[in-house]
Amino acid sequence: MAGLFVRLAPVLNVRDLEAERVFYERLGLPVTYQGEEYPDFIAFGVGDMEFGVQQSPVRNDPPSVLTWQIVVTDIDAMLKVCRGVGLPCEVEHNNPAPGWSYRRIVLETPSGYRLVLEGPNEAQTSRAG
């Protein structure tokens, strides 16, 4: 059965479609689809990662529903992007176990979702260097 699944492509219900578009484009995620067929939907993606946002027909409470986490290859470069485009964010330092240390950038999307950008294990990279 597991071979039937090929990728995850979540769709978030949002309050303001255009504000979400601007937010994700500022992070550097390109639009992969926006068209007349589905005027209340926009898809973003790079490589094997793709997700969509759609105008919510009802008011929802994003922070209680989902923490949206995206793994990045370079947390310092991503922090520079966030600060360079003026996105308010905070950095968390996490050391859950010996040999496992990473940082996360925490942001809030225009619709109120908590977006976490998680960096690589820094304990491994510091041992290698």
Mean pLDDT of 67-88: 95
Domains assigned to the chain: 2-128 (3.10.180.10)
Mean pLDDT of 116-123: 94
Side chain identity, residue 67:
T
The 10s digit of each residue's pLDDT in 5-44 is 788 889 999 999 999 999 999 999 999 999 999 999 999 9
CB 95 within 8 A of CB 53: no
The dihedral region occupied by 59, where left means phi > 0, alpha psi between -120 and 50, and beta the remainder, is: beta
pTM assigned to the model: 0.83
CB 101 within 8 A of CB 94: yes
Using only C-alpha atoms, what is the Rg of the chain? Answer: 16
